[in-house]
Amino acid sequence: MESINEIIDSQTFSQELVDEANEFITVGHQNQQQEADSESESHSLHGVSGEALAMTMQSIISSADRAGEEEPSSVVMVIDEIGHRSVQTAYQIMPQQLQIQGRNLPLPLSLLHHQHQDQGQHQQRQERMIDSSPVDFVGSDISLDGLTVNTVLSQGLSVKQEHKLLIVRRDHDFSQVRNPPQASKRHNMDVDVSSVDVGLMDELSSDGLACEEEEVTLNQHHQHQQLLEQQHQYGHLTHHQTHGQVHHSLHHRSAPMGLGHNGSVHREVLSVIVQSHEDDKDVDGDAEEDDDDDRDSGGRDQLLSPVLEHSSYQTLTSVNDRLSPPGFSPTSYATLTPIQPLPPISTMSEKFAYSGHISGGGSGGVGGNGAEGTTNSSGDAGETATVSSGNISGSGCSNNDCSSFSSLPMAMGSGHLGLSGLSGVQSPYSSYDKLPSMISPPPHNYSGSPSHGLTGMVVSCDLHTHSSSVSVPSPVTGGCVTLSPHSNSPQLQIGVRANGQKRDVLTTHGHNHGHGHDHGQSHGHGHNHGLQLIPVTLQKQVICLSPSGVLGDSVVVSDYESSYSGHHHDHELIMATSSSTSSTAGLQHSPTLSPHSASAGSVVSMSLHSPTSVVAMPNINGSIQSLSAEMPVVASLTPTPPPVTCAESDEGAAGMGMSDDPSQRHQHFLQKSQDISGDQCSPHSNPHSQANTSHQQTQSHQNGYQNVQQQLSKSHSPKSNPGTSGGGSRTSSASDMEEINTKELAQRISAELKRYSIPQAIFAQRVLCRSQGTLSDLLRNPKPWSKLKSGRETFRRMFKWLQEPEFQRMSALRMAAAQIPQRTPISVQTGVSGTSGLPAAAASTITATDSSPTMPTMTGSALLSGSSTAPSSGGAVASTVNCRRKEEPQIEQMPQPKKPRLVFTDLQRRTLQAIFKETKRPSKEMQVTIARQLGLEPTTVGNFFMNARRRSMDKWRDDDTKNAMHSMQSRQQQQASNNLSHANYANIHTTAMSPIGAFDDEADMELELESHDFDLVDEHGDNSDGQGDML
DNA sequence: TACTAGTCAATAGT
DNA sequence: ACTATTGACTAGTA
């Protein structure tokens, strides 16, 4: 609080202290008394190095609090050196309860908490918990004794605040200490508050540990249950922190704490005991929960310790870094942030494309981006935008749905131009397309925005054109790649469509090779290669065509390829002209196509076309235009629509079979185009597209699927599900929809991946064009649809994928899987090639390579995909490629030695976490100070807080909880997890699910809150504000 | 300029 | 071999 100087000074001191070893930093808390005590103590400490640290910490904390952070208020950081008695003092501060125990702290704490907390019941539980663990604690406490501090609110009654004690012990201690935390956790569990804490914890992630401890500390305020509130409140509270302030803060904090779960929360904040990490876990002993708790506790402990260590490295260093982290994992949920979405796509495209694609495309410089942009644009719309990129794009896609597809298209478009990069993108898109198709049907989604025009179809056409133009430049291939993801579709197509398509595909391949992009590589079969190249063309064509499903992919592909090989473009153009359907078929879309299968024939043609190159050469411009005309079909690109569709269909679609989707898509597209504009894509375009579409439609119609899908989609469409709902389908329906039940979708995807033993990495690359880590994050911590922006694209893609017939999915994925490995390398190469200028070309090549390895199978599928479905395989490949492309460039550039990734030391992490608990948004000054103390760069510290903020919060909660605590919604779902969490604070934390858990907790909190509020309430308001953002 | 959102990619953990 | 975590980028916004 005080001046920075103080902090700094303190820091310096702290450092010294650290060296010394133990230091306690106690941050005041709610209880004035305690505060006073603590202060005195702390001061004393300060005198010593320890104090300084404490001071710093406090100051930091306080500042943070002031910032508005949460609970921090009461946080007491106690850094113990081993020897320091200061700690004891600290205890004194807390005295009543804590004091107790000096050592026993843990138990006492827990007890205290319980006691303090009005909630007898909870307490009881806690006690139980405690008993088991607490006991341990006690033992551990021993070490703790000194360490801990706590604060309990002396006054307990009145305030109950929480105090956070940060006890930094040396390793030994910590370990022991940890136990206590656990106990605390347990306590928390009991108390609703815990939940709150948990939530916090989660957010903090590793920090959680500390939190737990804190929780343990006691607090009573049950009151504010809602985590958020608490946090916010805390934040306010924290302000108080300066010594004097601190005391105040304590009170305040406590209040906040109370609010939340009171005790728990506060506790968390209050005491941060850094214990040895390890122990915690042990202590927890309990099953999962325990683990979580442990983690949390560990984390917490660590936090403190880290600080100490950090500052003083000496003692603390010990804790395992990870331990804490692990704990967090649970918190992961909190973490959730990960999800983010689309960006990648856009990025992807960009990256990939960036080669040119887009550039060409113009709009987006990066083609991919374009796509993304599109996606972004609308939010949902963004997607549309993408599409538009193509021309249409704009309009586009209006919606999300489009987005995915659109994106592809976009990519395409731009891609065409330059786009190789896009290719990668495309692939994804392609896949999207498929889905979209699914979605599209649903037009629902699309309809709206996309509207633009036409349906997606029209638009798509434009896109194509654009794309074509674009594509040419860049090797859209990338796009193609993208498509690959869809590969599935191809397969499907294959199945569906049958031979013909495949043939086509093959042929196309041949062509492709000729064209070359990659060819080289794959030649032979290169199915992939061929695919790539061809695909491109095809895609373009496809795009137009398939609007329904395929389109997307195809489009993408075409773009890429086109871009890459002009030839292809020609083909594409041709293809396009030929008919969208066929084209589509050629494209990955196949799946979609499948329906089209009819298209198969077309597909063939497609391929031919591609070969024909007519398109290609013409280059973009001419060709494109021409294409456009024909493309109209392409226009269908609808891809955009697809997205929409995707949303709808969900799984159900899948069942249907690829074809269905496609058909549906087509229909949808058509419909959309006509009807809505829904599609994103839309609109557009036009006539051509329409015409094509009609054809397609007819084809599609052939398949029953469409209907089915449509139905599905429609039914689902819904927006969804909001909440939970889930099911994918519904949500899905919406591709655009607004709402896709991300949670359900994530679950479904996870289930599907497991079912088929599809590695995340493969799915991520092929279908989503995202990294494995990103996918993992999204699946684990999906953000609520409402909170997603560009990230929706990624979910849409997933949605679409689900919608696709299983065959397609599988084939695509598998293909991808096989290919991927290979591809990569290749991709790299190819990427370079960038024949057409862009990486795209390279991409194509890559694909080829890819194909080569897998080719065999791939080819088949690829072909299929290529043709109709091809998309899938092709798409996959493409996608892969695309992605790679992105990379490739990098690679070239890469040369640079990468910086090794920074890994925080335990102390650093713990300290940061501990601070984060208190203050989510430390001022720059604070950050700088922290950085100094920890020996980190300010930017690193800034990143930490940024990431912590984003990852700590429960994504879901926010929405739900914000206003009220209710949030129950999600909770229910979450409940399960939550319950656990409740049981153990730690657990809660651990459970990444946390969000849920948190919610639950929150709910509990609410209940508790009733009584509480107290000061907290006021504070809450304040704090909440600050935090509010956070939340 | 500061933030956020979305990711990537390295690394940790199973 | 996979998945999960996480520090750091980048793009888009306000």
Helix (H) / strand (E) containing A949: helix A938-952
Q: Is A870 helix (H, G, I), strand (E, B) or coil?
A: strand
Q: Among A971, A993, A1018, which residue terminates a domain?
A: A971
Helical ranges in A379-473 per DSSP H? 382-390, 400-417, 420-439, 444-447, 456-471
Which of A568-577, A623-632, A643-652, A895-904 has the highest mean predicted lDDT (pLDDT)? A895-904
| Residues A842, A426 contacting (CB under 8 angstroms) | no
Q: How is residue A616 annotated by DSSP?
A: E
For strand B, list residues 188-217 of chain A whose Cβ lies within 7 Å of it: none
Q: Considering all CA atoms of chain A, what is the largest pairwise distance in Å, rounded to the nearest integer? A: 86
pLDDT tens digits, one per residue of A829-855: 333 332 333 233 233 333 323 332 333
Which of A478-482, A599-603, A885-889, A991-995 has the highest mean predicted lDDT (pLDDT)? A885-889
Q: Burial, A265: exposed, middle or buried (Cβ in 10 Å; 0-12, 13-18, 19+)?
A: buried
Whether residue A760 is predicted with pLDDT greater than 60 in this model: the reply is yes
Instruction: Name every residue whose Cβ is closer than 8 Å to that of residue A757 and which is 6 or more positions away in sequence.
Output: none
Which of A30-39, A184-193, A398-407, A947-956 has the highest mean predicted lDDT (pLDDT)? A947-956
Assess if residue A777 is contained within a domain: yes
Q: Among A922, A949, A971, which residue terminates a domain?
A: A971
Q: Is the CB of A171 under 7 A from strand B?
A: no
The predicted pLDDT at position A226 comes to: 36
How many CB atoms are closer than 10 A to CB A757?
9
Amino acid (one-letter) located at A841: A
Q: Is the CB of A699 under 7 A from strand C?
A: no
Instruction: Specify which residues A376 forms β-bridges with.
Output: A382
Mean pLDDT of A965-969: 37
Helical ranges in A48-170 per DSSP H? 49-67, 86-93, 96-100, 106-116, 120-147
Whether residue A60 is predicted with pLDDT greater than 90 in this model: the reply is no
Assess if residue A929 is contained within a domain: yes
Which of A11-15, A33-37, A862-866 has the highest mean predicted lDDT (pLDDT)? A11-15
pLDDT tens digits, one per residue of A143-161: 322 222 232 222 222 223 3
Whether residue A901 is predicted with pLDDT greater than 50 in this model: the reply is yes
Instruction: Specify which residues A870 forms β-bridges with.
Output: A865
The predicted pLDDT at position A946 comes to: 92
Mean pLDDT of A343-364: 33
Instruction: Name every residue whose Cβ is closer than 8 Å to that of residue A47 and which is 6 or more positions away in sequence.
Output: none
Closest CA to A248 of A237, A233, A257, A234: A237
Which of A695-699, A932-936, A975-979, A1006-1010 has the highest mean predicted lDDT (pLDDT)? A932-936
Integer CA distances (angstroms), A857 to A399, A584, A644, A812, in order: 35, 20, 30, 11
Q: How far apart are CA A952 and CA A946, in angstroms?
A: 10
| Residues A565, A848 contacting (CB under 8 angstroms) | no
Assess if residue A651 is contained within a domain: no
For strand C, list residues 193-212 of chain A whose Cβ lies within 7 Å of it: 205-206
Q: Which nucleotides of B are covered by protein (CB under 7 A)?
A: 2-14
For strand B, list residues 304-343 of chain A whose Cβ lies within 7 Å of it: 320-323, 325-326, 337-343
Q: Among A924, A948, A971, which residue terminates a domain?
A: A971
Assess if residue A928 is contained within a domain: yes
Mean pLDDT of A553-575: 29
Percent pLDDT > 90 in chain A is: 5
Q: Is the CB of A884 under 7 A from strand B?
A: no
The predicted pLDDT at position A814 comes to: 60
Whether residue A662 is predicted with pLDDT greater than 50 in this model: the reply is no
Whether residue A180 is predicted with pLDDT greater than 70 in this model: the reply is no
Amino acid (one-letter) located at A200: L
Assess if residue A964 is contained within a domain: yes
Structure tokens at A921: 């948004």
Q: How far apart are CA A904 and CA A896, in angstroms?
A: 23
Q: Helix axis angle, A171-190 relative to A106-116, nearest 10°?
A: 20
Assess if residue A775 is contained within a domain: yes
Mean pLDDT of A971-995: 32
Q: How far apart are CA A200 and CA A161, in angstroms?
A: 16
Closest CA to A579 of A467, A671, A697, A462: A697
Mean pLDDT of A660-689: 31
Closest residue, by C-alpha, to the C1' of C1: A759
For strand C, list residues 775-814 of chain A whose Cβ lies within 7 Å of it: 776-777, 779-781
For strand C, list residues 371-430 of chain A whose Cβ lies within 7 Å of it: 372-373, 376-377
Confidence bin at A757 (pLDDT 50/70/90): confident
Mean pLDDT of A871-887: 36
Assess if residue A921 is contained within a domain: yes
Structure tokens at A817: 């899987």
Instruction: Name every residue whose Cβ is closer than 8 Å to that of residue A711 and which is 6 or more positions away in sequence.
Output: none
Helix (H) / strand (E) containing A615: strand A615-616
- Angle at CA A158, nearest 5°, toward A154 and A159? 70
Q: Is A250 helix (H, G, I), strand (E, B) or coil?
A: helix
Nucleotide nearest to A327 (CA to C1'): C5
Assess if residue A922 is contained within a domain: yes
Closest residue, by C-alpha, to the C1' of B10: A901
Distance of CA A185 to the CA centre of its chain: 28
Structural domain range at position A941: 907-971
Distance of CA A481 to the CA centre of its chain: 23
Residue A939 CA and nucleotide B1 C1' are separated, in Å, by 14
Whether residue A271 is predicted with pLDDT greater than 70 in this model: the reply is no
pLDDT tens digits, one per residue of A766-823: 889 899 999 999 999 999 998 898 999 999 999 988 888 888 777 766 655 555 444 3
Q: How far apart are CA A615 and CA A328, in angstroms?
A: 54
CA torsion through residues A174, A176, A177, A182, sign: positive
Q: Is A274 helix (H, G, I), strand (E, B) or coil?
A: strand
CATH number for the domain spanning A795: value is 1.10.260.40
Q: Is the CB of A8 under 7 A from strand B?
A: no
Residue A212 CA and nucleotide C5 C1' are separated, in Å, by 20
The predicted pLDDT at position A739 comes to: 78
Provide the number of structural domains found in chain A: 2
Mean pLDDT of chain A: 40
CATH number for the domain spanning A912: value is 1.10.10.60
The predicted pLDDT at position A815 comes to: 58
pLDDT tens digits, one per residue of A413-463: 333 333 333 333 333 333 333 333 333 333 333 333 333 332 333 233 233
Nucleotide nearest to A321 (CA to C1'): B12
Residue A132 CA and nucleotide C9 C1' are separated, in Å, by 46
The predicted pLDDT at position A918 comes to: 86
Confidence bin at A566 (pLDDT 50/70/90): very low
Torsion, Cα A529 A534 A539 A545, to 10 degrees, reads -150
Residue A777 CA and nucleotide C4 C1' are separated, in Å, by 8
Nucleotide nearest to A372 (CA to C1'): C11
Q: What is the 3-state secondary structure (H, E, C) of A491-536?
A: HHHHHHHCHHHHHHHHHHHHHHHHHCCHHHCCCCCHHHHHHHHHHH
Confidence bin at A617 (pLDDT 50/70/90): very low
How many CB atoms are closer than 10 A to CB A775?
28
DSSP, residue by residue, A340-376: --SHHHHHHHHHHHHTTHHHHHSSSSSHHHHHHHHHH
Closest residue, by C-alpha, to the C1' of C2: A759
Q: Is the CB of A894 under 7 A from strand C?
A: no
Helix (H) / strand (E) containing A78: strand A76-79
Q: Is the CB of A688 under 7 A from strand C?
A: no
For strand B, list residues 906-935 of chain A whose Cβ lies within 7 Å of it: 921, 924
For strand B, list residues 348-367 of chain A whose Cβ lies within 7 Å of it: 348
Nucleotide nearest to A206 (CA to C1'): C5
For strand C, list residues 913-932 of chain A whose Cβ lies within 7 Å of it: none
pLDDT tens digits, one per residue of A475-531: 333 333 333 333 333 332 323 232 333 333 323 333 333 333 333 333 333 333 333
Mean pLDDT of A152-172: 32
